[in-house]
Amino acid sequence: MRAHILAILAAPIVALPAAANAQEEGAGQAAYERHCIQCHDTDDEAVGTLQLGRTRGEELALLTERSDLTGEYIAAIVRNGLNAMPGFLPSELTAAQLDALVDYLTAASAASAASRATQAD
């Protein structure tokens, strides 16, 4: 009976490697939603968005729409923090998760810059 339950529990682990690529693609967004969005969301109560709007200007308030930040800069801020923003330790956000997060943010900013250029609202 016990071995039976273990076999059922172990089954999804065997399927993991096949899903690894898809998971990696989503890892940056997942890290953003887990660690950053509460302060960098679009709403009026997101302190990061508010503070960046005040100090950098409204058009630079939203992290996911920035195209002026390099991956190196983003990674340095994430590790060290900046004023009210806390730094993140490797135990909270691994190097691989940080890489995926930086890819996500720099890809999102490039895409949104492109869509701003074509939508022109």
Interface residue list for ligand HEC (CB under 6 A): 35-36, 38-40, 47-48, 51-52, 55-56, 63, 69, 74, 77-78, 82-86, 88, 101
DSSP secondary structure letter of residue 60: G
> Least distance in Å: CB of 57 to ligand HEC?
10
> Least distance in Å: CB of 5 to ligand HEC?
38
Quote the radius of gyration of the chain (alpha carbons, Å): 18
Distance between terminal CA atoms of the chain? 63
Q: Which is nearer to ligand HEC, 17 or 61 (CB)?
A: 61
In single-letter form, the type of residue at position 99 comes to: D
Q: Give yes or no for a contact between 30 and 103, defined as CB atoms under 8 angstroms apart.
A: no
Q: Which is nearer to ligand HEC, 19 or 56 (CB)?
A: 56
Q: Which is nearer to ligand HEC, 25 or 59 (CB)?
A: 59
Q: Which is nearer to ligand HEC, 100 or 101 (CB)?
A: 101
> Least distance in Å: CB of 32 to ligand HEC?
6
Rounded CA-CA distance 28/99 in Å is 8
Run of H or E residues at 32 = helix 2-35
